[in-house]
Amino acid sequence: MDRISCLAFLLFQVSNEGIKEVALQLVSGEISIKELKANRDFLPFIEYAETELKKNTVNKNEVCEFVDKYLYVY
């Protein structure tokens, strides 16, 4: 699974509705990681997701299901 899909999946797990919305935009390609990092409100969430991704604890099957479910929804 690609890095962007994994980051979007991790962001979608956050209880903040604004972050979930951004995760959907990210998975659909409407916004980039670079754009998100430029926004101070999102930066801590992006950094957390990148740290979790580096730990390699993301379930690839769950990421695939997330992408299948939300890629074209937003």
pLDDT of 24-38, one tens digit each? 999 999 999 999 999
Looking at residue 57, its pLDDT comes to: 82
Low pLDDT (below 50) residues in the chain? none
Looking at residue 70, its pLDDT comes to: 85
Looking at residue 73, its pLDDT comes to: 62
Domain count, the chain: 1
Looking at residue 67, its pLDDT comes to: 93
- Domain with 58, as residue range(s), is 3-70
The C-alpha angle with vertex 10 and arms to 7 and 51, in degrees rounded to 5, equals 70
Looking at residue 74, its pLDDT comes to: 53
